[in-house]
Amino acid sequence: MSRKLPAAVRHITKISDLSPVEMRGILQTAKHMKINPQQYAAALQQKTLLMLFEKPSLRTRVSFETGMTQLGGHAIFYSIADSPLGKKETMSDTAKVLERFVDVVMARVNKRQDIRELAALSHIPIINGLDDFAHPCQILADFLTVGEKKGFDNIDKLRITYTGDIRNNVTYDIMRAGVMLGATVSIAGPKGAEYEVEQEVLDECAALAKAYGGALEVHNDASKAAKNSDVIYTDSWMSYHIPKELMEQRVAHLKPFQVNAELMRHAKPSAIFMNCLPAMRGMEQTAEVIDGPQSVVFDQAENRLHAQKALLVWLTEKCAL
């Protein structure tokens, strides 16, 4: 084999694959990159990122592709929607082929098992662009935004509330990252197996909170969860994998957890509103909230670019690619 592979490789399958120190370091790099992009114009020169998409995404594709260009590298888009990983050939064969062509792989897939298997077999970094268990790239962008708005040194003093569909990859990684960074994370959603957080995630977050000093609260009342919060966060009630025929039922169960002006009044007057987008006005939040003065959703969307650039540089340096 002509290519030399890294002796040690790091994968980002969920946000807790990073330590709090590593997370803060990446956020500081992202902050610096955002202000001084020209200093990183050749940081990934001659490096190639492969982007595997089983699930579609505007922000993920555009931010990663733009980011690689701005860093002097190249990104390749490849759809696996009609040819899922492990079907035409074994996952092992795919991993061995890819590591001879590219430097990093980002995969946006349906199932956590695919990310885990690809990472276990790969000798180059694998980044989870989204699966049904985690969304680490989004969460790095989220905490870059929180740091910008509330102060990076104040994150451990914040109360961060997520309300709505809490059986959700974004919720899970907000929970993980928040408690790792010392914040209080408060979540609220309906009762019922189809809406409640998986026990595996609750157990992991309890261990992370014990190790790093954060706290997790689980509520079935949105107003209690939002009380005195610094950040109010929500996400779509109808993710890609949810059948459309379930919409009416889900709206009925989730409507009490909608972020509206009344709910925002339970938070601090200085609270910010976040949604990782796409958003449906009148569903998970009202138009007056997402289009109002407390909303930071477009800063949050832009920060996907800066956070992912910092992550890519960190991974290539960590793995000596």
Q: Any bridge partners for residue 52, and if so which? A: 78, 107
DSSP state of 150: H
Which of 114, 165, 230, 235 is catalytic? The answer is 235
Largest CA distance in the chain: 62
Catalytic, 39? Answer no
Which of 11, 131, 138, 250 is catalytic? The answer is 138
Catalytic, 276? Answer yes
Catalytic, 235? Answer yes
From the list 316, 314, 300, 29, the residue with the least C-alpha distance to 138 is 300
Buried b (16+ CB within 10 A) or exposed e, 24-36: bebbebbbebbee
For residue 321, the model assigns a pLDDT of 74
Which of 11, 24, 59, 108 is catalytic? The answer is 108
- Starting at the edge strand found earlier in the chain, the sheet holding 272-275 runs 215-219, 184-188, 159-163, 231-234, 272-275
Taking the model in full, what pTM does it have? 0.96
For residue 242, the model assigns a pLDDT of 87
Residue 204 phi, psi (nearest 5): -60, -45
DSSP state of 92: H
Q: What's the CA angle centered on 112, arms 111 and 115, to 5 degrees? A: 105
In angstroms, how far is CA 286 from the centroid of its own chain? 23
Catalytic, 108? Answer yes
pLDDT by residue, tens only, the chain of 321 residues: 666 777 689 999 999 999 999 999 999 999 999 999 999 999 999 999 999 999 989 999 999 999 999 999 999 999 998 877 888 899 999 999 999 999 999 999 999 999 999 999 999 999 999 999 999 999 999 999 999 999 999 999 999 999 999 999 999 999 999 999 999 999 999 999 999 999 999 999 999 999 999 999 999 999 999 999 999 999 999 987 789 999 999 999 999 999 999 999 999 999 999 999 999 999 999 999 999 999 999 999 999 999 999 999 999 998 887
Catalytic, 10? Answer no
| R_g of the chain, CA atoms, integer Å | 19
For residue 87, the model assigns a pLDDT of 83
Give, in order, the Cα–Cα distances in Å from 235 to each of 164, 276, 277. Answer: 7, 6, 7
DSSP state of 197: P
Which of 11, 135, 167, 176 is catalytic? The answer is 135
Catalytic, 17? Answer no
Which of 59, 250, 304, 306 is catalytic? The answer is 304
Which of 276, 300, 306, 319 is catalytic? The answer is 276
Residue 18 CA to residue 12 CA, distance in Å, equals 7
